Amino acid sequence: MLSQDPICYETYQETAKWLQSRTKIRPKVAIICGTGLGPLAGALTNQETFKYTDIPNFPQSTVQGHAGQLVFGELKGKPCVCMQGRFHMYEGYPLIKVTFPVRVFRLLDVEVLIVTNAAGSIADDYNTGDIMVIKDHINMSGFAGQHPLCGPNDERFGPRFPCMSDAYDKGLRKLALNISRELDCSNILHEGVYCMVGGPNFETIAEARLLHKLGVDAVGMSTAPEVIAARHCGLRVFGLSLITNKVTKDYDCNESVDHEAVLSIGEMRAGVVQSLVTELVARMELNTAS
């Protein structure tokens, strides 16, 4: 028995064609808005919106803080599509469903995927409200056999054994760091390693200490599956984590974390994240401008 039912190529095609028949916008950049970062989509001009419930074959989002819609539009003249609301493994979705939109984006001829997320910091020198440019990730759920590419491989998307040592585009990371200096926010910007855990509970202290030893800087419950699916089908990837809380590694600490705190930090930093992403999109090189 397979751990997840394959989705056939024609199903992705059906969704892509449905979208193409309803909008003239041909996005080159796709942006996944993480928890509390939905307002990012507000920067798009000439918006055309499709609710996930109306899009054939699309999974549905169940998390508070996620609107559940695709927003097509332009950022500084570049055609984009934003996911307001992503799908998480902890909602019960097989990872092939979590990554369904990424493959649809590929069929829409998207070139770059920008992923954002809310994350807890493991690194000692990060503060709540800081932003981490993702340099690399540890796909902890993949270690446990939960992987978006499990099952038969469709070569039309990519190879059976994709390389992942260049997952986060070096040029885009460098561009983002330069932009942060110009926007005067380099003091809150880091570059680091993200680790995806399954959730939905936040980490125990022993788990946090383990992640620290493994070289993790920030931990969250998303992103790695979408990035893997995107790299598999040849998209360039850029990732940002908004540090919404510090994960405690100290048994004497009485601080606790909850989802509301995660959402409120998202609100506080939405503007900075929006400016960074907008400038990045404005300046990134694409094969075809429209």
Q: Which residues bind ligand HPA (CB under 6 A)?
A: 118-120, 202-203, 219-221, 244-245, 247, 257, 262
| Partners of residue 115 on adjacent β-strands | 32, 239
Q: How far is the CB of 208 from ligand HPA (least distance, A)?
A: 8
CB 53 to ligand HPA: min, Å: 25
Question: Which CB sits closer to ligand HPA, 185 or 257?
Answer: 257
**Minimum CB–partner distance for residue 206 and ligand HPA (Å):** 14
**Residue with Cβ nearer ligand HPA (203 or 279):** 203
- Cβ count near 28 (within 10 Å): 22
Q: At what angle do helices 9-20 and 100-107 cross, to 10 degrees?
A: 60
Q: Which is nearer to ligand HPA, 166 or 250 (CB)?
A: 250
How far from chain centre, in Å, is Cα 204? Answer: 24
Least distance between ligand HPA and beta carbon 165 (Å): 25
User: Structure tokens of 52?
Assistant: 């996930």
Q: Of 84 and 245, which has the nearer Cβ to ligand HPA? A: 245
Question: Which residue is closest to ligand HPA by CB?
Answer: 120
Query: Do the bridges between strand 236-246 and strand 131-139 make them parallel or antiparallel, or are there none, so unpaired?
Result: antiparallel
Residues 6+ apart with CB under 8 A from 17: none
Kindly tell me which of 84 and 244 has the beta carbon lying closer to ligand HPA: 244
Kindly state the smallest distance separating residue 164's Cβ from ligand HPA, in Å. 21
Rounded CA-CA distance 148/222 in Å is: 12
Q: Which is nearer to ligand HPA, 3 or 204 (CB)?
A: 204
Closer to ligand HPA by CB, 82 or 221: give it: 221
How large is the angle between the packed helices 170-182 and 259-283, nearest 10 degrees?
Answer: 100
Nearest in space to 10 (alpha carbons), one of 56, 59, 68, 66: 56
State the CB neighbour count (10 A cutoff) for residue 11: 15
| Nearest distance, CB of residue 58 and ligand HPA, angstroms | 24
Min dist CB 129 to ligand HPA, Å, is 13
194, with CB counted inside 10 A (0-12, 13-18, 19+), is: buried
Which residue(s) pair with 139 in the sheet? Answer: 196
